[in-house]
Amino acid sequence: MHHFHYHKRELYAEEVPVARIVEEVGTPVYIYSAATLRRHFRVFREAFSGIPHLLCYSVKANSNLAVLALLAREGSGADIVSGGELYRALRAGIPPEKIVFSGVGKTEKEMEEALSAGILMFNVESLGELEALSRVARRLGRKAPLAIRVNPDVDPRTHPYISTGLKKNKFGLPEGLAFQAYLRAKEDPYLEPVGVDCHIGSQLTEISPFVEALRRLKTLYLRLREEGLPLRYLDLGGGLGIVYGEEEPPPPREYAEALLREMRDLPETTLILEPGRVIAGNAGILVTRVLYVKHHPPTEENPEGRTFVIVDAGMNDLIRPTLYQAYHRIQPIRETLEGETLVADVVGPICESGDFLARERRLPAVRPGELLAVMSAGAYGFVMSSNYNSRPRAAEVLVDGARFFVVRKRETYEDLVRLEEIPEF
Ligand SMILES: *Cc1c(COP(=O)(O)O)cnc(C)c1O
């Protein structure tokens, strides 16, 4: 579900023609829909309304302050993975008592910042980190609330780079070690175990791995309660998939129903979820302009030859296609019905063969100057962008009904070198 649609053959973001935004802001540009973000969050919230729960939006999916502020107003908490994300979440008005801090490599400085801010809990991923957290808490003279991130060894059946809950992945602790860590934390006056946590991966299109992971969490949770640990949170992480192309992920309501069934015998427990992609993914598009169309003549391998649509957005703007072999729909801003088509690689200006947005894609016969929308680019899009090839990062725009706001200006050349200095050799 999203609010990007054609009206009189022209692509709109809510009530604003995409072409009008481009006229003002240029390309490449990320465009987010406020109505879509709100709707996604509300559907999720409704689905879990039957039990005590906390939705901690995963900031890394899309960390623009405007997006975070919008979600804060909807009542969202935050799942953060760095001091920078803590800073953003607080700046955007997300209350610290709704923030959980995940990640395998938290520094003591980051822990200090989060503990001073008064976050809900740290999701601790190793014994070393547990020791570090205890040191930090002692220094600050406060107790650090925590969950141990368990690696439940459940196969999420997704892309290997976004699988995180398998034994071979770097995340969390296996159940046995996690149990030991809890007993250790229980004895420490500066540590306060309050929950059990996991996150098994991203872009999952089935419910069963979530249910499996929740069952394993529950087993450990109940064992720990028997040991006298006053736990009250079960954090199942994020990971629910979205439609990019032909996938059929379960709707949030079905996902919630399956989890609610598992939570029935734990009425005193708050279920924490950390949705990222499912909130932001389909709430954003990347708009790019066609620069050139070129055709390479046939070869033995390629009897048809090969056509390249060269656009002004590259892998530095959207790395998902080349990093995860991710599929994004690509649509023209002006809809052409039944017209001529071509099959082409849609590529960017970066000097890398991995610089593509789509391969062997059937498109309308686009011409230089035309605009294309790369769909479902609201999550893991701009946040993963870089300045590679000294390309200023794209602008970000938030549409809300008939209005639109530039929520991050396009970077300038001056921005590119702002922190650099030529020494007196
Ligand atoms: C990335 C991440 C999420 C969000 O994952 P999505 O697939 O975007 O929902 C949640 N929790 C943790 C710990 C993560 O690293």
Question: Which residue, 286, 309, 296, 314, is CA-closest to 366?
Answer: 309
pLDDT at residue 337 tops 70 = no
Please work out, in degrees rounded to the nearest 5, the angle formed at the alpha carbon of residue 301 by the alpha carbons of 296 and 306.
25
CB 318 within 8 A of CB 27: no
Q: Is 351 a catalytic residue?
A: yes
Cis peptide before 28 (omega within 30 of 0): yes
Confidence class of residue 299 from pLDDT cuts 50, 70 and 90?
Answer: confident
* Mean pLDDT value of segment 63-86: 98
Lowest pLDDT segment from 118-122, 156-160, 314-318, 364-368: 156-160
Q: How confident is the model at residue 143, as a pLDDT?
A: 98
Q: Which domains does the chain have, with CATH numbers?
A: 4-31+282-417 (2.40.37.10), 34-279 (3.20.20.10)
Amino acid 82: pLDDT: 98
Distance 378 CA to ligand 1 centre (A): 14
Spacing, Cα 226 to ligand 1 middle (Å): 30
Number of residues assigned to the chain: 425
Confidence at residue 303, expressed as pLDDT on a 0 to 100 scale: 84
274 lines ligand 1 (CB under 6 A): yes
Contact 308, 347 (CB under 8 A): yes
The whole-model pTM stands at: 0.96
Ligand 1 contacts CB of residue 216 (under 6 A): no
Please compute the mean of the pLDDT values over residues 119-142 and round it to a whole number: 97
For residue 14, report the distance from its CA to the centre of ligand 1, in Å: 27
Considering the candidates 8, 340, 351, 421, report the single residue annotated as catalytic: 351
Q: How far is CA 291 from CA 322, 366, 411, in A?
A: 20, 10, 20
DSSP conformation letters of 50-88:
TS-EEEEEEGGG---HHHHHHHHHTT-EEEE-SHHHHHH
Question: Is the CB of 149 inside a 6 Å radius of any atom of ligand 1?
Answer: no
Residue 267 pLDDT grade (very low, low, confident, very high; cuts 50, 70, 90): confident
- Nearest to residue 284, comparing CAs of 6, 22, 30? 30
Work out the mean pLDDT of the chain and round it to a whole number. 95
pLDDT at 158 > cutoff 90: no
pLDDT at 79: 98
pLDDT at residue 197 in the model: 98
Q: What percent of the chain clears pLDDT 70, i.e. is strictly above it?
A: 99
* Helix (H/G/I), strand (E/B), else coil: 319: coil
Q: What is the mean pLDDT of residues 348-362?
A: 95
